[in-house]
Amino acid sequence: MEVTALPAPVFCGVDWAEDHHDIALLDVGGKQLAKQRINDDAEGFAQFAALLSEHGDRADAPIPVAIETSRGLLVACLRATGRPVYAINPLAVARYRDRHSVARKKSDAIDAAALANILRTDMPAHRPLPADSELVQAIAVLARAQQDAVWDRGQAHNKLRSQLREFYPAILDASAEHKHGLCSREARAILAAAPTPTMAARLTRRRLESLLKQAGRVRGVQAAAERLHGVFQRNYLHQLPQVEAALGQQTSALVRQLNTACLNADQLEEATTEAFEEHPDAPIIRGFPGLGSLTGARVLAEIGDDRTRFASANSLKAYAGSAPVTRASGKSCTVMSRKIKNQRLAAVGYLWAFVSLTKSPDARAHYDRRREAGDRHVAAQRNLFNRFMGMLFHCLQHGQLYDETKAFPIQSLEDQSTIAA
């Protein structure tokens, strides 16, 4: 009986740069089979694909590729071919490089070989990029851009508020009652028309009513205009006239920045929620208390829809940063919060847990029990978020909707006992 020899495993490392990439191919014994530098264009990618084919790359047995980034056109094209792509942290690559050279020499070719060696020796210790659908990848782009726009809006708001505290306290008093503060359309409309306190004091009631209507206010326009007129007519300290005029010019520039940030956040929110509602996992995610279309999109963007990405609920919890870390050595044992995590998922997780306190009685009861046990507010929220992540993993794996009675069975049994009594 003739036995067909299987091709020897080959491992590929890519050291990427802005205009070129270095490629290294190693066999299972660590021998370098090939090295090449390609340009960052379509012709370069064709050369890369040809090089892999020469060394046994097939559709049913693709050569794995290690690279120091998870983004960019090269990574997108590699993922589109269906081959496993491993995004290795640059700090980890630096540690592996030291294993092969004590002289601390470094070059792009050496880094490419180090990346290939990582797959050759420790591939099971690293995870390939998930095989997410095209829709989830689009949702991830929109959700992260919207989150960045919200952070930019907060930064622009803080800059403007710090500026106004120096010479324009009247507008801070005028916008204090609005839940959005200076980010409200009314405050931004007034600042655009009157960027200095002297100009605000000259605004008539009719002009204030016109500005409020332009900002979209429909009810209570006259009462709001009367209140604003009274605020602007109060006696405040003033800067020197020329200095105040200069600060007004700077304020106008900051207001334009804030307007742009608010517009970007609103438009990206609409696009994100629209794309999220098209995904089949949207009803499951949105069914959890405390999650809406926008926060649900942020969660889906970070965990993806590749069901094989996380081996267990504990893996997902560790990725989200909700699971604690235990450091034990001898008789010493310390449990602490996890610092290395997906920061975007952790950020939406705290918001998710906070909102659920008013949406789910059982979630609130669980939070209260943690507080009574000695947890501080943030720790109790993180514990609740940790529990939600385990539920979400189960629901997505089995295609089930959230069920309050199954989510918190202890609390549900207590409620039934109370009713029976």
3-class SS string, 283-330: HHHHCCCCCCHHHHHHHHHHHCCCCCCCCCHHHHHHHHCCCCEEEEEC
Alpha helix (H) residue ranges in 197-292: 197-201, 205-214, 221-232, 241-277, 282-286
Write down the pLDDT at residue 269. 96
Q: What is the DSSP string of 348-393?
A: HHHHHHHHHHHH-HHHHHHHHHHHHTT--HHHHHHHHHHHHHHHHH
Chain-centroid distance, C-alpha 45: 30
With the C-alpha atoms ordered 353, 354, 359, 363, is the resulting torsion angle positive or negative? positive
Write down the pLDDT at residue 401. 93
In the chain, the largest separation of any two C-alpha atoms, in whole Å, equals 102
| Distance in angstroms (rounded) separating the CA atoms of residues 262 and 150 | 8
Ordered per-residue pLDDT tens for the chain, 421 residues: 444 444 568 999 999 888 889 999 999 888 899 899 999 899 999 999 999 999 888 888 899 999 998 888 899 999 888 889 999 988 888 888 877 666 677 788 888 999 999 999 989 888 899 989 999 999 999 999 999 999 999 999 999 999 999 999 999 999 888 888 899 999 999 999 999 999 999 999 999 999 999 989 889 999 999 999 999 999 998 899 999 999 999 999 999 999 999 999 999 999 999 999 999 999 999 999 999 999 999 999 999 999 989 989 999 999 999 988 888 888 888 888 888 889 999 999 999 999 999 999 999 999 999 999 999 999 999 999 999 999 999 999 999 999 988 888 765 445 544 434 4
Write down the pLDDT at residue 420. 41
Looking at this protein, which amino acid is placed at residue 374?
Answer: G
Looking at this protein, which amino acid is placed at residue 418?
Answer: T
Write down the pLDDT at residue 81. 85
Q: What pTM did the predictor assign?
A: 0.84
Write down the pLDDT at residue 410. 64
Write down the pLDDT at residue 93. 86
Q: What is the DSSP string of 161-177?
A: HHHHHHH-HHHHHHTTT
